[in-house]
Structure 1
Amino acid sequence: MEAKGFGKSDGGTDAPHVVLLATPGAGHLIPLAELAKLLVARHGFSVTIISFTVFASKAQDALLSSLAPPIASLVLPAVPFDDLPPDSPIETIMSVVVVRSLPTLRAELSRLQASFNVLALVADLFGTDSFAVARDLGLPPYLFFPSNLLALSLFIHLPELDASIACEYRDLPEPLRLPGCVPIPGPDLLHPIQDRSNEVYRWILHHGRQYRDAEGIIVNSFEAFEPDAAKVLKQSEPGQIPLYLVGPLTQSRAAGAEEDAECLRWLDKQPVGSVLFVSFGSGGALTTAQMAELALGLEMSGQRFLWVVRSPSDGGNSSANYFTTQSKADPFPFLPAGFLERTREVGLLIPSWAPQVAVLSHAATGGFLSHCGWNSTLESVKAGVPIIAWPLFAEQRQNAVMLAEGAKIALRLRAAEDGLVPREEVARVVKELMEGEEGKAARRRVSGLQEEALRGLEEGGAALEALDEVVNKWKSRN
């Protein structure tokens, strides 16, 4: 199996080389790819990004193929996992696939070592079983954590929480207080740990234990965003794992086709700071009933909005036939009747995708209704745009708490007893973010974080110095 992407510019066998192991999802792969670009541009590395055939997708293939030499990609062959229950969570499947791919990973790492000056293996949060293989081959194993310090703290402390807490975390009588972190109510904790009888819980616990086997943890966050957690996790104590805060690593703004996107031309015509961008990420979808409440709430708010609309999670028009069934009269048939016509002067709806970095960076964008995925959160902070938190799954609920109660750059919505966020609540929070005092305060705070984030990525900034520190540690072993 040959890596794709190396050419004459790979720097030869003497150039420092690092291997990055990526489990699936844009939230994992995008920041790893940005880390690879920094290692190439700043330190003259060549890089191999290893992923898994089982999780291949058009989006992943497009991202990997867009990376220029000396960044190569290598895809491990498929392994069976049809013995797992059909309803197995993705975190379980990822973990099992990594374990069953270890023999092939060992062979590929050995081959790369024969051709390149490999200095380290960096695995992302569900790839910790690769650490033993790396050590056997004389490579220091590092963890790349693509989320925040709150989530990292939860992983690290989970073994002791497992031993000391008897009930389900969702039934905790008081919020969980991790050192340096905002208190998190039990039901808002990481979704895969909410059922301790499920195999996925044991996998998360397993990874949390193995984080302590890493020689260092590279985190996609920055100290000003989570100052108290950073202080705790960076303490120089026996057994403390070295921490390198290299964030925010976010997707580079693409040149070319996206500049002609209809939504950007529409934004050009809107007043500065007047538009709420609504998007739930690449994997986020709402029920038909909730989409109706969101639509009517946006209408009731009277605010301008740009909404990336995905098909409902409970049916509606499936993604397979969505574009063939839409018409000029009713391009979004699952939305309330007349909504498009009534809001056409203030709103724009676009199907499935928007150039998010460009939209958030546009002067007309004044707020972001978001699922609170960490990639999207960092993109919003870098653009200085405050957030309305609407979390859906994974770690998004605890992210929402951290953004609203910790960093205070987000406003939260309150769901009704039936679980739906009603239109009146949508309208209230949207209007407050865009016009109210809470919105102004959140905007001031996110502007300050934006300055800190951008400063950290400048020469002499904290993020680049952290990257330099870990690279120098790798090189010192050479």
Structure 2
Amino acid sequence: METKTHIALVTVPVYSHLRSILEFTKRLVHLNQNIHVTCINPTFGSSICNNVKSLFESLPSNINYMFLPPINLEDLPKDIHPALKVEATLHRSIPSIYDVLNTLHSSSKLVAVISDGLINEVLRLTKKLDILAYSYFPSTTMLLSLCLHSSNLDKTISSANKDLLEPLEIPGCIPINSTDLPDPMLDRSSEGYKIFLEANDRFYLADGIMINSFLALEETTIRALQEKEDEGIPSIYPIGPFVQNVSCDNGSDLEYLQFLDKQEKKSVLYVSFGSGGTLFSEQIIELAFGLELSGQNFLWVLRPPNKHGVIDDLDSGEYEDEILYNFLPNGFLERTKGKGLVVPYWAPQIEILGHSSIGGFLTHCGWNSTLESVVNGIPIIAWPLFAEQKMNAVLLSDGLKVAIRPKVNENGIVEREEIAKVVKNLMVGEEGKEIHQRMEKLKGNAIDALKENGSSTMTLTHLALKLESLGSHLGT
């Protein structure tokens, strides 16, 4: 019987990360069907929610999966930031992950372990087993360059990052203001910053890092890292874009489809802050008035306000739709009826972005959403909320020039007049037309990267052949 090349995959309990790494895994086994994958999934809470179950139930037969026993987080504060809850879950899952990896390796001789970049402590565990260790990096090469160079950058910075007057020079990247750095870097005296540096140093344990990006999108940064492989930088594999290739088979009776079908081509602004992003109450009010003032058509996915700017993306909604609408200005739904539609909590983003009436995307700049916009050629209004999203916004607006970024006032609010101006500029202004042309070119580049002889497909094919060769060697 033919020997299968067995690989273990370690995920993190964040829906956006799960979507990305599972799409990568499906692509890997599609390109080389002699590869068999076992997904190991840390969990928290008492049950696995339906949207996560659907991700795993759609996997092909050569991808198995298991959910680790839920981590008990009852000792944590009730209002803890969701990111800290994930961090605690991952840290407490390490012993269980190691036990599973050890068992799998003993029984079937694992060739390699691929772990999400958020849980790169698995790289250290994998080295103990003396097998190949890879990291799957679901964000930009720009962020990866920052991570790989963060210790060196730390040594060259004498003041707190948030007080830097000069833009920070990250190898291979456009300069970035200190205020646009990821959250842990904004206070060099914090424990979070120390943890950030330590985690980044672990990337050097990897035999390779796979990035959900493609050559034409970030060529300068990718080349800069690849040229430093002789200096200890792990091998870099740009293999994206990975975008979930599904749509909702619910017919044309859905309200959002009826609304979109009535609109002219490229006339609707889609407004969504990802699988978990949201705004605080005052900003929701300003956004509503800004959309109304712009006079443009819009489809807005609304979530309840939250002080952290994020709700748990693996939980369901806590408000009834009617109560959720109470966070909007009085009379807003009536005044915008016909021109705008508000959808509570969730909408099938991939299907919406692919609709012919969508002409712009107001997004939090999460990397999944960004790539979904790119592959559909949709211009962007960049509205970052947390994590590395401000860096993504810089790449989109200043680097690739496919986005407009609204100005924030001294109180951290984007005012309604600014919102209306930016929306009109993107949807019907001259700058918007130029952005659309550049985004259409990126769309073509993304399609080309995934063709049979495209840069991403060739890169992943060569990596899969390498893993298969090692698997065959183990099987002899």
TM-score, normalised on structure 2? 0.91
Do the aligned partners of 2:124 and 2:202 also contact (CA within 8 Å) in 1? no
Corresponding residue number in structure 2 for 1:50:
40
Among candidates 328, 337, 341, match of residue 334 of structure 2: 341
Superposition RMSD in Å: 2.3
State how 1:65-104 maps to structure 2 within 5 Å: 65-79=57-71, 93-104=85-96
Among candidates 5, 21, 30, match of residue 41 of structure 1: 30
1:186 alignment partner AA: S
C-alpha distance 255-88 of structure 1, shift in aligned 2 (>3 A): closer
Aligned residues: 461
Do the aligned partners of 1:191 and 1:393 also contact (CA within 8 Å) in 2? yes
Corresponding residue number in structure 2 for 1:179:
171
Deviation at 1:420, TM superposition (A): 1.2
Which shows bigger deviation, 69-78 or 357-366? 69-78
Corresponding residue number in structure 1 for 2:6:
17
State how 1:143-154 maps to structure 2 within 5 Å: 143-154=135-146
C-alpha distance 42-324 of structure 1, shift in aligned 2 (>3 A): closer
Among candidates 4, 21, 24, match of residue 32 of structure 1: 21
Deviation at 1:461, TM superposition (A): 0.6
SS of structure 2 residue aligned to 1:333: helix
- Deviation digits for residues 353-384 of structure 1 (CA, Å, limit 9, x no counterpart): 11100100111000000000000000000000
- Deviation digits for residues 147-181 of structure 1 (CA, Å, limit 9, x no counterpart): 00111011111111222213221111111111221
Q: Counterparts of 2:174 and 2:250 in 1: how far apart (Å)?
A: 41
Q: Does structure 1 residue 190 correspond to structure 2 residue 182?
A: yes
Do the aligned partners of 2:44 and 2:73 also contact (CA within 8 Å) in 1? no
- Deviation digits for residues 268-317 of structure 1 (CA, Å, limit 9, x no counterpart): 111100000000112111122111111111111111111111112259xx
Q: Counterparts of 2:215 and 2:40 in 1: how far apart (Å)?
A: 29
SS of structure 2 residue aligned to 1:284: coil
C-alpha distance 169-465 of structure 1, shift in aligned 2 (>3 A): same
Do the aligned partners of 1:27 and 1:146 also contact (CA within 8 Å) in 2? no
Corresponding residue number in structure 2 for 1:323:
320
C-alpha distance 255-297 of structure 1, shift in aligned 2 (>3 A): closer
Among candidates 182, 186, 206, match of residue 198 of structure 2: 206
C-alpha distance 81-366 of structure 1, shift in aligned 2 (>3 A): same
- Deviation digits for residues 249-280 of structure 1 (CA, Å, limit 9, x no counterpart): 11122352376532122211111000000001
State how 1:382-397 maps to structure 2 within 5 Å: 382-397=375-390
Which shows bigger deviation, 67-76 or 183-192? 67-76
Deviation at 1:99, TM superposition (A): 4.2
Among candidates 259, 266, 280, match of residue 287 of structure 1: 280
1:389 alignment partner AA: A
1:285 alignment partner AA: T
Do the aligned partners of 2:296 and 2:339 also contact (CA within 8 Å) in 1? yes
Which shows bigger deviation, 161-170 or 431-440? 161-170
Do the aligned partners of 1:408 and 1:445 also contact (CA within 8 Å) in 2? yes
SS of structure 2 residue aligned to 1:460: coil
Do the aligned partners of 2:248 and 2:348 also contact (CA within 8 Å) in 1? no
Q: Counterparts of 1:268 and 1:467 in 2: how far apart (Å)?
A: 38
Q: Counterparts of 1:370 and 1:440 in 2: how far apart (Å)?
A: 18
Deviation at 1:91, TM superposition (A): 5.1
C-alpha distance 81-304 of structure 1, shift in aligned 2 (>3 A): closer
Q: Percent identity?
A: 41
Deviation at 1:241, TM superposition (A): 1.6
Q: Counterparts of 1:87 and 1:332 in 2: how far apart (Å)?
A: 23
Q: Does structure 1 residue 216 correspond to structure 2 residue 208?
A: yes
Q: Does structure 1 residue 475 correspond to structure 2 residue 464?
A: no
Select the structure with the greater relative contact order (CA < 8 A; seq sep ≥ 6).
2
2:6 alignment partner AA: H
Do the aligned partners of 1:47 and 1:72 also contact (CA within 8 Å) in 2? yes
Q: Does structure 1 residue 225 correspond to structure 2 residue 217?
A: yes
Q: Counterparts of 1:343 and 1:116 in 2: how far apart (Å)?
A: 60
Do the aligned partners of 2:16 and 2:275 also contact (CA within 8 Å) in 1? no
Corresponding residue number in structure 1 for 2:371:
378
Corresponding residue number in structure 2 for 1:125:
117
Deviation at 1:477, TM superposition (A): 2.5
TM-score, normalised on structure 1? 0.91
Among candidates 136, 145, 160, match of residue 168 of structure 1: 160
Corresponding residue number in structure 2 for 1:63:
55
Do the aligned partners of 1:89 and 1:200 also contact (CA within 8 Å) in 2? no
Do the aligned partners of 2:271 and 2:301 also contact (CA within 8 Å) in 1? yes
Do the aligned partners of 1:304 and 1:346 also contact (CA within 8 Å) in 2? yes
Deviation at 1:238, TM superposition (A): 3.4
SS of structure 1 residue aligned to 2:111: strand
Deviation at 1:111, TM superposition (A): 2.5
Q: Counterparts of 1:384 and 1:472 in 2: how far apart (Å)?
A: 32
Do the aligned partners of 2:248 and 2:351 also contact (CA within 8 Å) in 1? no
Deviation at 1:320, TM superposition (A): 5.8
Q: Counterparts of 1:243 and 1:114 in 2: how far apart (Å)?
A: 29
Do the aligned partners of 1:92 and 1:199 also contact (CA within 8 Å) in 2? no
Do the aligned partners of 2:117 and 2:136 also contact (CA within 8 Å) in 1? yes
2:242 alignment partner AA: L
Do the aligned partners of 1:222 and 1:453 also contact (CA within 8 Å) in 2? yes
Q: Does structure 1 residue 136 correspond to structure 2 residue 128?
A: yes
Which shows bigger deviation, 234-243 or 98-107? 98-107
Among candidates 260, 268, 272, match of residue 261 of structure 2: 268
- Deviation digits for residues 208-258 of structure 1 (CA, Å, limit 9, x no counterpart): 101111000000011111121111012153323211101101112235237
Deviation at 1:66, TM superposition (A): 3.1
C-alpha distance 209-88 of structure 1, shift in aligned 2 (>3 A): farther
Corresponding residue number in structure 2 for 1:239:
232
2:170 alignment partner AA: L
SS of structure 2 residue aligned to 1:257: coil
Q: Counterparts of 1:167 and 1:82 in 2: how far apart (Å)?
A: 38
Unmatched runs of 5 consecutive residues or more in structure 1: 1-11
Unmatched runs of 5 consecutive residues or more in structure 2: 472-476
- Deviation digits for residues 1-36 of structure 1 (CA, Å, limit 9, x no counterpart): xxxxxxxxxxx8822222111122123111110011
Q: Counterparts of 1:41 and 1:457 in 2: how far apart (Å)?
A: 13
Q: Counterparts of 2:9 and 2:413 in 1: how far apart (Å)?
A: 40
Corresponding residue number in structure 2 for 1:4:
none
1:233 alignment partner AA: L
2:17 alignment partner AA: H
Q: Counterparts of 2:2 and 2:9 in 1: how far apart (Å)?
A: 18
1:380 alignment partner AA: S
